[in-house]
A and B are shown apart, each in its own frame.
Chain A
């Protein structure tokens, strides 16, 4: 059973600080990694994806991937109250038939 694990939170971070969200996955053959943001009552929105080891930066967001440790993280710099949401980690394998596996999400609360 392929699994994606996230701490459910809530993770409380002061405004302006760095929020660090973590995700581990069980399938060593996983190739694609995604972070979705979901506001309460809304649908998930794709904010980052990463395919290779290392860091990928997009504005205030940085995704970090360590395949050897089967670990992916999302850093949010200069956290804003509008970043308060649930963040879903999702993982997929290399083949067309590989389904995306979603974690249950981490609730992030930015304290004004």
Chain B
């Protein structure tokens, strides 16, 4: 079975802190994605990557950056956390561009 893991289930940070969210998949998938999910807004794509060192902006990249140094790992970085970045963050991976498998999510609270 595909396994996608995320570094933390719950995280509390302060405004202005730099935040790293890590995602690792163990199925040699080429494509990896970061979403945030908020009530009433659904899943929104932040960034995605279809190869090592490649990254593409999604629908809401502002305030975020990503890093993909190894195929299995995709990191989301909040350079200076703000309260409006309080959300559930979901990482996903896929072999092709379709069937995405999600990690358990990180619920981030920015105070």
> Which DSSP category, helix, strand, loop or mixed, fits chain B's interface?
loop
A34 and B103 contacting across the interface, CB-CB below 8 Å:
no
Instruction: Give Cα A69 to B96, complex, Å.
Output: 27
Please indicate the chain B residues that have their CB under 8 angstroms from the CB of A102 in the complex. Answer: 42-43
Q: How many residues of A contact B (CB 8 A)?
A: 21
B98 and A100 contacting across the interface, CB-CB below 8 Å:
yes
- Residue in contact with B105 in the complex, picked from A42, A46, A90, A105, CB distance below 8 Å: A42
Number of A-B residue pairs with CB-CB distance less than 8 Å in the complex they form: 43
Q: How many residues of B contact A (CB 8 A)?
A: 19
Instruction: Give Cα A90 to B41, complex, Å.
Output: 15
Instruction: Give Cα A32 to B99, complex, Å.
Output: 9
A92 and B97 contacting across the interface, CB-CB below 8 Å:
yes
Instruction: Give Cα A49 to B40, complex, Å.
Output: 24
A99 and B45 contacting across the interface, CB-CB below 8 Å:
yes
Top 8 A-B residue pairs of the complex, sorted by shortest distance between their CB atoms? A104-B42, A43-B102, A102-B43, A43-B105, A32-B98, A44-B102, A96-B97, A92-B98
Besides A43-B90, A96-B96, A100-B97, 20 new A-B residue pairs in contact (Cβ under 8 A), listed by A number: A34-B98, A34-B99, A42-B104, A43-B102, A43-B104, A43-B105, A44-B43, A45-B102, A46-B99, A46-B100, A46-B101, A49-B98, A49-B99, A97-B97, A99-B45, A100-B100, A102-B42, A102-B43, A104-B41, A104-B42
